[in-house]
Amino acid sequence: MSTVTVGVVGAGRIGRMHASNLVHHVPEARLKAVSSPHIDEGWTRGLGIPVATQDNEAVFRDPEIAAVIIAAPSGRHVELIRRAAEAGKHIWCEKPVAFDPQSITSAIEAARAGGVQLQVGFNRRFDPSIRRLAEAVRQGEVGELNGLRIINRDPKAPPIDFVKRSGGMFFDFTIHDLDTARHLSGRDIEEVYAAGAVLVDPAIGAAGDIDTAIVTLRLQGGALCVIDNSRQTGYGYDQRFEAFGSKGNLVVDNLRPTTVEAFLDGGVFEDTPLPSFIERYQDAFIEELRAFIGCVRDGSPVAVTAEDALAAVRAAGAARTSMLENRPVRLDEETRGGGR
Amino acid sequence: MSTVTVGVVGAGRIGRMHASNLVHHVPEARLKAVSSPHIDEGWTRGLGIPVATQDNEAVFRDPEIAAVIIAAPSGRHVELIRRAAEAGKHIWCEKPVAFDPQSITSAIEAARAGGVQLQVGFNRRFDPSIRRLAEAVRQGEVGELNGLRIINRDPKAPPIDFVKRSGGMFFDFTIHDLDTARHLSGRDIEEVYAAGAVLVDPAIGAAGDIDTAIVTLRLQGGALCVIDNSRQTGYGYDQRFEAFGSKGNLVVDNLRPTTVEAFLDGGVFEDTPLPSFIERYQDAFIEELRAFIGCVRDGSPVAVTAEDALAAVRAAGAARTSMLENRPVRLDEETRGGGR
Amino acid sequence: MSTVTVGVVGAGRIGRMHASNLVHHVPEARLKAVSSPHIDEGWTRGLGIPVATQDNEAVFRDPEIAAVIIAAPSGRHVELIRRAAEAGKHIWCEKPVAFDPQSITSAIEAARAGGVQLQVGFNRRFDPSIRRLAEAVRQGEVGELNGLRIINRDPKAPPIDFVKRSGGMFFDFTIHDLDTARHLSGRDIEEVYAAGAVLVDPAIGAAGDIDTAIVTLRLQGGALCVIDNSRQTGYGYDQRFEAFGSKGNLVVDNLRPTTVEAFLDGGVFEDTPLPSFIERYQDAFIEELRAFIGCVRDGSPVAVTAEDALAAVRAAGAARTSMLENRPVRLDEETRGGGR
Amino acid sequence: MSTVTVGVVGAGRIGRMHASNLVHHVPEARLKAVSSPHIDEGWTRGLGIPVATQDNEAVFRDPEIAAVIIAAPSGRHVELIRRAAEAGKHIWCEKPVAFDPQSITSAIEAARAGGVQLQVGFNRRFDPSIRRLAEAVRQGEVGELNGLRIINRDPKAPPIDFVKRSGGMFFDFTIHDLDTARHLSGRDIEEVYAAGAVLVDPAIGAAGDIDTAIVTLRLQGGALCVIDNSRQTGYGYDQRFEAFGSKGNLVVDNLRPTTVEAFLDGGVFEDTPLPSFIERYQDAFIEELRAFIGCVRDGSPVAVTAEDALAAVRAAGAARTSMLENRPVRLDEETRGGGR
């Protein structure tokens, strides 16, 4: 099969990471162009990318380009999806697609109208350990699924500026866990109870957000899922997952930079978990692009759809309502939907 | 200091374990008498216990006996506490003291009136790993406490007969976790949200109980605690505890019978966790008696009081109300209190 | 079956430990008498031992006593075994029986002549993890055995006085590993190469001994075994064992006082291994006495014989010769035998 | 600093891996040409390598090329080093440089005469965990070094054809461990005792080689090192390293493909270690090239020299003599030197 010619829209930290991954790790893709208001031509040259432009349209109009990676600021995702779909480009879009269900729905419709694929950047689904856990559940290794446990804690609270435009912790952070709950269980979320707190930094509370949460989900068929979130650990990026069922419990643990254990007078010392999502999900970031390019090449459906994004945003909305009203919220209630 | 002469009331499985622990592992105690309707004199002789009787009063009236261990069926605990207190015996009572706050309060008053100590059998507080975790939290090793995680899962669901007279899972099983939350945090529980389900055995549901629960607690000062319960694992007795704070996360893991790891073609194999509470808390069962006997000898206050039992039962009541009404319940609400 | 009446000869640290284990953990034994030149009657009374005497003969002559535990100083073991055998008592003797093969042979003959059992205190054989490893090898779980790895390191170098009368590190310390190699493999040792060094404390070298060694064994049938010894770790008592074969590798790891893991900024901290042989082999010390008493009761042969002690001492002698002459030594050479 | 233009000589499995690593992971290098008798132009085109040739001279004569990676068959390494040195190219050469000290010495002289750098492919030195261990030893984290333990076991015995031309296990396989002993300790090897055996496959013995070995090293200053080798595990590639000293013990453990732990009835199951050196030392293979290119750019001395290769080969020769004559061999003896 032939190579897929690709453009990347957006060249911030994450856009540059995706561009570099395409060049180095996705041999089936040819990265032709990157667009960004702040494009750095030294950087594109270094990666051997022929076209560096400030104009997204140069990407959308290029007839050679078959697929685009959207990594612009979140607030512009839906508009860029629409434009790419019109231009007939297959689309991979960084999460969040949007904070409100209506916008995501419109993105889904645009992709359908354009006849293009639309994959969403829930990268964790491509992590080797998580993927194996999901397969084990699907194949019945844990028997009937009774529960999931997800620990997701960031190493360091984000800047208050980011907090203000993040859509709130449930939409920006917990959303990964809500998707993971659906992915691991293969089931939809029926009810959400979210207990939130400001325990890390009062400034986050002052900005109208929380930094700590315990979210309990009831999944279709009755299994319970608990999500444990914090914006700051001090000991690295804490990512742990468990699936518990009638036959046993499967556990995914943290990764560490080295395996060194130091047995010394006073204690045994090991490395803390990997410091951030960049290192932890390094392989997953590559695999999600490989999977997308593979689907573009052979026309098979993408593994993570905008419908998945929609389901996760709806659950995030329910979590917010639950927290604000301090009550469990069913997903089939008329929720208010979107982010702040 | 002199030896404390002790009587044991009740000689079922747990009563016999306590008697054996007193004889073999608490040199400061002298076990003089055991009473039980089904007393086995071969067994008492084997342990060198001078008096075996069917009459509890023979224990309470013996002027040599300074302290009693109450391990009779749960429904008789309060009555026996009252009788022991009248007789001026210091009291150690197996959990649960009672399922309703009023009864526990009356037991507290009886002990106070009799001028005797009253310790309750929350054995986990004496487990070396959990004790160390509690000390670490108290000494600020995790910084400001943000959260607790408690996983408590039984190896095998109890017989339906037991389920029916157990008081319900929150009163019989989760109650240990509610006490552990108070012990680890050094704080009271302010609010409870309990999501329960019947996922292990429909017969448990038919008996009016649940077998699976996720319970979220808000503790005084704001920290969140999540309790994960199941009546059946298939892989042994799952007992894990975490305390998370501004400086880090402390984890207590399961114990296993051996440390053998088998690296074979196809996988690495290890032992499952210890099979039941008997093995897992073997040391804790001994230490709680040692601690009690120590307090009797030197008159220092016991470490686990009936007030602790009262607080745990109130939280269990709130959990039940929460589950039944599917809403968070504050401990300072007028709760309905007791067990079924 | 009836209880076995037992006497203990020797009441130093180890003798007192065995006496206490008999009283508390071996219900099939009745400890009637302890003899020692420095007997402490308060201690025997506390344990409920009827007879405390300075005269070993009072033990040997007591017709009620069927078995003796010899825990006197090593230099007197053989003489006491002979005396006990003459008196018709079954014998459990602490290691080392003696440092020279001739003495052990004479002890074996004395026991045979007296028609009594003679078990030797290689306690490790009764450790649950090591026992499981030995069974796995015997049952072919690792396939054909290719190699053993034994790490045995003491927490803290012994006093120089002890070093001087210890018989040398191979006879006092490595001897456990030489027995473990035979136990785990079920095979005899054919050749020994021992590299020794003084790296912990020059005073040990000045006393004519070593404190560090790597000992390579060729076992019957060709498997290789490597023993790694040090007199001092600083991080506790390091006891690790591996059996490697055509089907895999089985590993026994250290035990720790608690399972607490502290995830903190700067590292993850755990407990060091258990501090000494007393804690590490606590269960094994009990099990070896239980096994002995069981054999006395039912007449079945003991699991660890003086022939095992003889084989270990011969291997220790070969190790010493190997180190002194810096060459591999076959066990079937005319070795010089005994300790210094 | 400018980019370094590089040629790769040899395009077998390992040559292609290095070429791919240069293209994808060493941005400071520009891979211009690859030569091999069996060059695959589709593969070079796919990687964007301009020149694909069957003629090594085309690489050596290219004035643009500043450095060459030699990954041709081992038997040709010295000849190619000489030719590259004459041509003034800096050299990175896969291990083994040669099996005999004289040839390595001549390669060292050729590089010196040509005024070029010569780095050798002891890739393990660049593994993050091993590098950290070496630094810890150098910085005194373990105190005075007393001992090293190296376990190196291959997943599956190589084909007999390879065994025959491999130079023997000590020269082909153990040589990595001999270098690691020098690297971790920062010390030279003074004496070697090697016990070898044929336990995996009699055909290896028939081919004149061994498949199992325990090698004991005495290092300068007195520390002891033990190397444990096997040609076949069945459970993956076993790579473990320990450094033991007066302050403690540092351990490097195996890496596994995922962290999944399955707690099931009957046992807890985990992944076996990574399957082969390709996965295990993936990062190290990249880092060694990065380090080499860095030294070429700034003229700093390379970290792994042909003198290191010489020292390792001398130790391998001593190991072979030791095994054949069954005696410890000092490195300062007149050893017979090279491979078979």
Q: Give the domain range for residue C12.
A: 4-122+284-302
D29: nearest Cα among D60, D57, D55, D67: D67
Dihedral of CA atoms B162, B163, B168, B174 in degrees, nearest 10, equals 80
Token code pair at residue B104: 């526990």
CB interface of B with A, residues 227-256, below 8 Å: 228, 230, 232-235, 238, 244, 246-249
pLDDT score of C338 more than 70: no
Token code pair at residue D255: 């890496």
Give the integer Cα–Cα distance in Å for B195 and C38: 65
Specify the pLDDT at position B1: 52
DSSP character at residue A305: B
Residue A337 lies in a domain: no
Give the integer Cα–Cα distance in Å for B318 and B314: 6
Specify the pLDDT at position D301: 97
Contacting chains of D (3 CB pairs or more, <8 Å) are: A, B, C
Burial of B246: CB neighbours in 10 Å, binned 0-12, 13-18, 19+: middle
Question: How far is residue D12 CA from its own chain's centroid?
Answer: 17
Judgement on whether residues C64 and C144 belong to the same structural domain of the protein: no
What DSSP string runs through C28-94? TEEEEEEE-TT--HHHHHHTT-SEEES-HHHHHT-TT--EEEE-S-GGGHHHHHHHHHHTT-EEEEP
Give the integer Cα–Cα distance in Å for B198 and B215: 15
Q: D232, D258, D261, D268: best mutation site toward chain B, by most B Cβ within 10 Å? A: D268
Residue A340 lies in a domain: no
Instruction: List beta partners, residue C219.
Output: C189
Q: Which of A128, A253, A263 sits opposite D249 (nearest CB)?
A: A263
Judgement on whether residues A178 and A314 belong to the same structural domain of the protein: yes
Q: What are phi and psi of B66, to 5 degrees?
A: -100, -20
- Chain A residues closer than 8 Å to D141 by CB: 262, 264
Which residues, other chains included, contact B174 with Cβ-Cβ below 8 Å and sequence gap of 6+? B152, B213, B215, B227, B229, B316, B319
Dihedral of CA atoms B91, B93, B99, B101 in degrees, nearest 10, equals 30
Q: Could you tell me if D189 and D311 are in contact, meaning their C-beta atoms sit under 8 angstroms apart?
A: yes
Half-sphere exposure of D114 (CA within 13 A, CB side): 22
Judgement on whether residues D68 and D170 belong to the same structural domain of the protein: no
Residue D338 lies in a domain: no
Count of CB atoms within 10 A of residue D299's CB?
8
Where b means 16+ CB within 10 Å and e means fewer, C58-94 reads ebbebeebbbbbbbbebeebbbbbbbbbebebbbbbb
Give the integer Cα–Cα distance in Å for B313 and C261: 31
Judgement on whether residues D198 and D253 belong to the same structural domain of the protein: yes
Q: Look-up: residue for tokens 């400034």? A: A203
Q: Could you tell me if D151 and D240 are in contact, meaning their C-beta atoms sit under 8 angstroms apart?
A: yes
Residue B83 lies in a domain: yes
CB contact under 8 A, C234 and D244: no
Specify the pLDDT at position B337: 46
Burial of D51: CB neighbours in 10 Å, binned 0-12, 13-18, 19+: middle
Specify the pLDDT at position C1: 52
Give the integer Cα–Cα distance in Å for C29 and C23: 8
| The length of chain B, given as a count of residues | 340
Judgement on whether residues B82 and B161 belong to the same structural domain of the protein: no
Residue A338 lies in a domain: no
Encoded amino acid at D5, one letter: T
Residue D335 lies in a domain: no
Q: Could you tell me if B121 and B198 are in contact, meaning their C-beta atoms sit under 8 angstroms apart?
A: no
Specify the pLDDT at position A334: 58
Question: How far is residue C135 CA from its own chain's centroid?
Answer: 19
Give the H or E element holding residue B317: helix B306-325
Decide if C318 touches B, using CB distance below 8 A.
no
Count of CB atoms within 10 A of residue D336's CB?
11
Q: Which of C238, C265, C272 sits opposite A234 (nearest CB)?
A: C265
Average pLDDT of the segment spanning C178-206: 98
Decide if C33 touches D, using CB distance below 8 A.
no
Judgement on whether residues C29 and C43 belong to the same structural domain of the protein: yes
Decide if B262 touches C, using CB distance below 8 A.
yes
Token code pair at residue D209: 């080689």
**Most distant CA pair in chain B: distance in Å?**
67
For chain B, the C-alpha Rg in angstroms (whole number) is 20
Confidence of residue D2 (pLDDT cuts 50, 70, 90): confident
Question: How far is residue C123 CA from its own chain's centroid?
Answer: 5
Q: Could you tell me if B178 and B312 are in contact, meaning their C-beta atoms sit under 8 angstroms apart?
A: yes
Judgement on whether residues C288 and C246 belong to the same structural domain of the protein: no
Give the integer Cα–Cα distance in Å for B255 and A241: 20
Question: How far is residue C313 CA from its own chain's centroid?
Answer: 12
pTM (whole model) above 0.90 = yes
Instruction: List beta partners, residue D224.
Output: D147, D218
What DSSP string runs through B127-191? -HHHHHHHHHHHTTTTSSEEEEEEEEE-SSPPPHHHHHHS--HIIIIIHHHHHHHHHHHTS-EEE
CB contact under 8 A, B255 and C259: yes
Q: B152, B193, B200: best mutation site toward chain A, by most A Cβ within 10 Å? A: B193
Residue C8 lies in a domain: yes
CB contact under 8 A, A238 and B248: no
**Min Cα–Cα distance to chain B from C329, Å:** 33
Q: Could you tell me if B1 and B297 are in contact, meaning their C-beta atoms sit under 8 angstroms apart?
A: yes
Q: Which of A235, A238, A268 sits opposite C272 (nearest CB)?
A: A268
Give the integer Cα–Cα distance in Å for A232 and B144: 13
Decide if B282 touches C, using CB distance below 8 A.
no
**Most distant CA pair in chain D: distance in Å?**
67
Which residues, other chains included, contact C287 with Cβ-Cβ below 8 Å and sequence gap of 6+? C126, C127
Judgement on whether residues D108 and D224 belong to the same structural domain of the protein: no
Specify the pLDDT at position B340: 39
pLDDT tens series, chain A, 340 aa: 579 999 999 999 999 999 999 998 998 999 999 999 999 999 999 898 999 999 999 999 999 999 999 999 989 999 999 999 999 999 999 999 999 999 999 999 999 999 999 999 999 999 999 999 999 999 999 999 999 999 999 999 999 999 999 999 999 999 999 999 999 999 999 999 999 999 999 999 999 999 999 999 999 999 999 999 999 999 999 999 999 999 999 999 999 999 999 999 999 999 999 999 999 999 999 999 999 999 999 999 999 999 999 999 999 999 999 999 999 999 998 544 444 3
Low-confidence ranges of chain B (pLDDT < 70): 1, 334-340
Q: pLDDT digits over D150-182, tens only?
A: 999 999 999 999 999 999 999 999 999 999 999
Which residues, other chains included, contact C232 with Cβ-Cβ below 8 Å and sequence gap of 6+? C153, C154, C155, C156, C157, C200, C201, C211, D246
Encoded amino acid at A221, one letter: G
Q: Which of C200, C224, C235 sits opposite D197 (nearest CB)?
A: C224
Chain A's closest residue to B198, CA to CA, is A222
Question: Residue D172 belongs to a domain with what CATH number?
Answer: 3.30.360.10
Q: Could you tell me if B248 and B229 are in contact, meaning their C-beta atoms sit under 8 angstroms apart?
A: no
Give the H or E element holding residue A119: strand A118-120
Confidence of residue D334 (pLDDT cuts 50, 70, 90): low
Give the integer Cα–Cα distance in Å for D98 and A333: 75
Count of CB atoms within 10 A of residue A165's CB?
13
Angle at D64 (CA atoms; ends D60, D68), nearest 5 degrees: 45
Handedness of CA A69, A73, A78, A80 (dihedral sign): negative
Chain C's closest residue to B28, CA to CA, is C46
Specify the pLDDT at position C307: 97
Angle at B110 (CA atoms; ends B107, B116), nearest 5 degrees: 105
Q: Collapsing DSSP states into helix, strand and coil, what is residue B195?
A: strand
Instruction: List beta partners, residue D329.
Output: D192
Count of CB atoms within 10 A of residue D189's CB?
22
Which residues, other chains included, contact A42 with Cβ-Cβ below 8 Å and sequence gap of 6+? none
Judgement on whether residues C213 and C324 belong to the same structural domain of the protein: yes
Judgement on whether residues C170 and C110 belong to the same structural domain of the protein: no
Which residues, other chains included, contact C305 with Cβ-Cβ below 8 Å and sequence gap of 6+? C118, C119, C120
Specify the pLDDT at position B2: 80
Which residues, other chains included, contact D212 with Cβ-Cβ below 8 Å and sequence gap of 6+? C146, C147, C224, D196, D197, D198, D199, D200, D229, D230, D231
Question: Residue D10 belongs to a domain with what CATH number?
Answer: 3.40.50.720
What DSSP string runs through A187-222? S-EEEEEEEEE--S-HHHHHTT--SEEEEEEEETTS
Specify the pLDDT at position A2: 79
Specify the pLDDT at position C339: 43
Q: What are phi and psi of D268, to 5 degrees?
A: -110, 130
Residue C338 lies in a domain: no
Token code pair at residue D88: 């003034």
Q: How many independent structural domains does chain A possess?
A: 2
D241: nearest Cα among D227, D230, D256, D231: D227
Judgement on whether residues D187 and D148 belong to the same structural domain of the protein: yes
Judgement on whether residues C68 and C186 belong to the same structural domain of the protein: no
Token code pair at residue C237: 């008592």
Chain D's closest residue to C212, CA to CA, is D146
Confidence of residue C334 (pLDDT cuts 50, 70, 90): low
Token code pair at residue B63: 């002027």
Which residues, other chains included, contact D210 with Cβ-Cβ below 8 Å and sequence gap of 6+? D168, D169, D196, D197, D198, D204, D323
